[in-house]
Structure 1
Amino acid sequence: MTSNRDIFRIIVFAALILSTFAFSQNRKQELETRRQELRREIQKISELQAETKSKAQSELSLIEDFNYKITVLNNLIKITNQQANYLTREINANQKKITSLRAELKQLKEDYAAMVVKSYKSKNKQSKVMFLLSSTDFKQAYKRLQYIKQYANHQKQQGETIKAKTVELQNTNQDLLKQREEKERLISENRVTQRTLEATKKQHESLMQSIKKNMSRYTAQIKAKQQEADRIDREIEKIIKAAIARSNKRVGKSESSTSFALTAEEKILASNFVANKGKLPWPVEKGYVKLRYGNQPHPINRSLTIKSNGVRIATEKGAQVRTVFSGEVIGVITLKNVNPLVMVRHGNYITTYKNLSKVYVKEGDKVNTKQVIGEVATNRATNESVLSFVVSKESDTQDPAAWIYKM
């Protein structure tokens, strides 16, 4: 007799199998979703790079593009390999299942054949009647009648089981065929990706060899570019400090404070901004990140450090710039030899949109999520359109990838 403890163990075991299966299916779906995202990313890179082919890109910019494309291609190969490995495990499991089902089906058919033979030998009504009449008493006759019924039901049930197992075996064989086809497709795609990666690496290496011949000139360009970025960042910091001073003066607090004095409405706005962390829309509809947030070695001269307070997004010519959340414009800045930038305040958070060719808002304007505030500038010499985007809490910059959806 099965005890309560045995029943509990069976339930726990079944639950573990189901949860493992569910986890495996979810993991497979996650990998496929990520693989498709990476394929779209490569497509975006190819499309946007095609726009710049009409004019000579700078070597610095090309190196950035190659580095990013190599990273994405490596990630795609890695994800596809993981998918293929999952399929290999599933194929092996299905092959074992098919072997087990065939053995089980063979035994069921043998048992069923034996039953049919036995039933045939005693199928005439007279033998069944004699079997009942030879009973010593009513009780034995009743039991023999029940046995005849049970035997007939068991024979029928055995036939149904054989049908069900046959269907299960057919379905498993079909699943196995699909898995093998899918695995072969993934392997074939990975071969193409690998060839693209190798070609991109060769282009990267060839360009680096050319650059190394004039490393001093490129190093000077890199330093000048970083100095310009630092100058813009200092101006942004001045705007933020001025906005904090105005905010504090309005409520009678110290103007030297480094934090915004928020009204009840601004507190709600800041809270909503934080609640949408990781879900904010991209500041442009189409693009990819060329330069990520934080201090990082320069891809050409690794002894130099890039200080990136935000991200640089390569996009299409004439791309519209959109606010990532509702707020108030606290600055529209135009510096010498620098394209305009717009700063939007969201409570005590600020988003900054740099390198605009056109600006459609002015200081003090209220803006909504995804409202177009300008257009990205296109470099006439290189034909590149790149938006610089910054997220900060007061004057402290933060990684935009943590705020923007799937950045």
Structure 2
Amino acid sequence: MKLNKALLLVVSLFFCVSAFAQSSKELKRKKEALQREIELAQRNLNKAASGKKLTLGQINAIKAQIRLRQEKISTINSEMKSLDHQISENTNKVHNLKGRLADLKKEYAGMIRFAQRNRNSYDKMMFIFAAKDFNQAYKRIKYLQQFGQYRKKQAAYIQGTEKQLSNQIVVLDKDLKNKGSLLKEQESEKSKLDKNRSEQTAVLNKLSKQERQFKQDIQKKRQQQASIDRQISAAIAREIAAARKKAEEEARERERLAEAKAKAENKPSPTTTASKPKTASEALRATPEAAKLSDAFEANRGSLPSPVANGYITGRFGAYKVDQATAMRNGVVFQTSDGAAVRAVFNGTVSSVFQQFGKYYIVIIHGEYFTVYEGLQSVNVSKGQKVTTKQTIGAAGTSDGVPELGFQIHRGATAQNPESWLAR
């Protein structure tokens, strides 16, 4: 029984260490990804700041750096909490192992004393021959055999427990060193965050000096974005109208065939009419293929790949303030690396490709869903072309000297928040 309890202790220790290792790996991966995004933001900031004129890209890059740095500090804090919890658990297990080891040694010492009292063959033989009958003598022989085997097992288990205890102490020492490294990293990140905030203050001071020009640039950008959004909405509306028309034509054809069949068989004409799509969703899902693609797209909510392999979001979906005025954004804006490949986030068909203000815009249809890729410097797909998940469809363009990509998701004509669809 005691042996089983000790085994359970070792097994539980193994699973706890495995769970911690998995959690620690996930946090480490997240921290490394954040660091890559921070470094990319710094490169973009350097590009934007190289000009004398203050740009929105420069402001967004600083904001992104501060946000990413805060997220990294938060991840380090989570890593330290997890490590503290593991240190506490491992410390308790070390104490339990020490207590168990002391009990085993005490028990083993009792066995040794018993063995000393019966250390020669004469004593063993006397113990056997003192039995009342043959059956009891046989049981005493088996007892002595089992006692010897159990003593060997106990000795081996004591050695194993001592080894386990030694290994656990090594793990504890490593955890304590890791915690020390994390504390240093946390202090370093806090110092860098303070520096970023100072840079932000300097940029805002610069903004006050260039306010008039900055407002004009923002107003121009808003007008351009409004024009682009109208073109995107028009492209989606055309697709919906075409799907509706096709579905209605197919419904009328089914009606005609039903009437012809009834006439050929000398039966009354069917009184029921074929169903026609009432909504945009019904029109876009009218065919089995489109319905299947829509369901597949929806099933991947929260796990769609990013339209750029490396990048971070600087413009979020929905209402936002620019120059004290509220504006709406139908998607998100990524800052990425120079000439970054832009990828389709899901299987679909290119619905529209158009050029505006020297940049390219792609709309891809996925059943009743649409994805929109904005501000590309070049494209390598055309209207009607089928694309697959992560297929390169073009290269990201620049805005204010910073590589940028706008990205939207629509269900029919309704814009969705891409952040709830994309995998982190």
Q: Tell me, in whole angstroms, the C-alpha distance in 2 between the residues paired with 1:132 and 1:322.
A: 84
Alignment-derived partner of residue 9 in structure 1: none
Alignment-derived partner of residue 289 in structure 1: 313
TM-score (norm 2): 0.79
Q: Aligned letter for 2:368? A: N
Alignment-derived partner of residue 84 in structure 1: 80
Residues 115 and 18 of structure 1, relative CA distance in 2, 3 Å threshold? closer
2:205 aligns with one of 199, 206, 209: 209
Give, in angstroms, the shift of residue 203 of structure 1.
Answer: 0.7
Give, in angstroms, the shift of residue 191 of structure 1.
Answer: 2.2
Secondary structure of the equivalent of 1:206? helix
Give, in angstroms, the shift of residue 268 of structure 1.
Answer: 2.9
Give, in angstroms, the shift of residue 229 of structure 1.
Answer: 1.6
What is the RMSD computed on CA atoms of the aligned residues? Answer: 3.4
Q: How does 1:97-176 map to 2 (within 5 A)?
A: 97-135=93-131, 137-138=133-134, 141-176=137-172
**Unaligned 5+ runs, structure 1:** 1-12
Tell me if 1:331 matches 2:352: yes
Secondary structure of the equivalent of 1:385? strand
Alignment-derived partner of residue 404 in structure 1: 422
Per-residue CA deviation, residues 197-240 of structure 1 (Å, 9 max, x unaligned), is 11111111221233245545544543442233222212221222
Tell me if 1:391 matches 2:409: yes
Alignment-derived partner of residue 338 in structure 2: 317
Give, in angstroms, the shift of residue 41 of structure 1.
Answer: 2.2
Residues 204 and 149 of structure 1, relative CA distance in 2, 3 Å threshold? same
Q: Tell me, in whole angstroms, the C-alpha distance in 1 between the residues paired with 2:379 and 2:107.
A: 83
Secondary structure of the equivalent of 1:251? helix
Q: Aligned letter for 2:65? A: K
Tell me if 1:265 matches 2:289: yes
Q: Tell me, in whole angstroms, the C-alpha distance in 2 between the residues paired with 1:173 and 1:14.
A: 14
TM-score (norm 1): 0.82
Contact 1:241–1:258 under 8 Å retained in 2? no
Residues 134 and 72 of structure 1, relative CA distance in 2, 3 Å threshold? same
Contact 2:312–2:334 under 8 Å retained in 1? yes
Contact 2:334–2:406 under 8 Å retained in 1? yes
Q: Aligned letter for 2:181? A: R
Q: Aligned letter for 1:281? A: P
**Mean CA deviation greater in 306-315 or 211-220:** 211-220
Q: Tell me, in whole angstroms, the C-alpha distance in 1 between the residues paired with 2:201 and 2:300.
A: 41
Q: Aligned letter for 1:294? A: G
Give, in angstroms, the shift of residue 74 of structure 1.
Answer: 1.0
Contact 1:357–1:374 under 8 Å retained in 2? yes
Count of residues paired in the alignment: 389
**Unaligned 5+ runs, structure 2:** 1-8, 250-275
Q: How does 1:155-234 map to 2 (within 5 A)?
A: 155-215=151-211, 217-234=213-230
Q: Tell me, in whole angstroms, the C-alpha distance in 2 between the residues paired with 1:325 and 1:89.
A: 41
Q: Tell me, in whole angstroms, the C-alpha distance in 2 between the residues paired with 1:367 and 1:355.
A: 19
| Percent identity between the two aligned chains | 29
Alignment-derived partner of residue 378 in structure 1: 398
Q: Tell me, in whole angstroms, the C-alpha distance in 2 between the residues paired with 1:87 and 1:293.
A: 36
Secondary structure of the equivalent of 1:252? helix
Q: Aligned letter for 1:290? A: T
Alignment-derived partner of residue 6 in structure 2: none
Give, in angstroms, the shift of residue 166 of structure 1.
Answer: 0.9
Contact 2:54–2:210 under 8 Å retained in 1? no
Give, in angstroms, the shift of residue 23 of structure 1.
Answer: 6.0
Q: Tell me, in whole angstroms, the C-alpha distance in 1 between the residues paired with 2:334 and 2:219.
A: 21
Secondary structure of the equivalent of 1:343? strand
Q: Tell me, in whole angstroms, the C-alpha distance in 2 between the residues paired with 1:378 and 1:126.
A: 97
Q: Aligned letter for 2:245? A: K
Contact 2:48–2:58 under 8 Å retained in 1? no
Secondary structure of the equivalent of 1:340? strand
Q: Aligned letter for 1:376? A: A
Give, in angstroms, the shift of residue 51 of structure 1.
Answer: 5.0
Contact 1:244–1:255 under 8 Å retained in 2? no
Q: Tell me, in whole angstroms, the C-alpha distance in 2 between the residues paired with 1:157 and 1:107.
A: 15
